Amino acid sequence: MNIKILTPEYVVFEGEVNSVLLPGKNGEFHIMKNHAGIVSSLIGGKVKLYANSIDEAYAKNFTKENDKDSVFSYPIKSGVVEFNHDKGIILCE
């Protein structure tokens, strides 16, 4: 599935991931391939991408959660996500 993470200043990430974990108002939620369409607001926390690897151009924006799993996190203050047909856009600050 394809995910884009955008801030007003720059593109944080654009590429293929296995899934994404997001900080929602009612708790964290996981979006995986073939997930139903969703639009949701996000609160402060970490966006976690589960991916085999991240392109070098975007790697500087992320912290690798641990060495075993391919989990990359990016801190946000707030935002919104739209996901449909295995494509997601996360607008955040």
Q: What is the CATH number of the domain that holds 11?
A: 2.60.15.10
Decide if 50 contacts 15 (C-beta within 8 A). Answer: no
Q: How far apart are CA 30 and CA 83, in angstroms?
A: 12
Instruction: Say yes or no to pLDDT of 78 above 90.
Output: yes
pLDDT of residue 11: 97
- Composition of the chain by helix, strand, coil, percent to 5: 5, 60, 40
The predicted-structure confidence for 9-36, as pLDDT tens digits, reads as follows 999 999 999 999 999 999 999 999 999 9
Which residue segment(s) compose the domain that 29 sits in?
1-90
What average pLDDT does the segment 79-84 reach? 98
pLDDT of residue 82: 98
The secondary structure element, H or E, covering residue 45 is: strand 45-50
Q: Is the pTM of this model over 0.85?
A: yes
> How many domains does the chain contain in total?
1
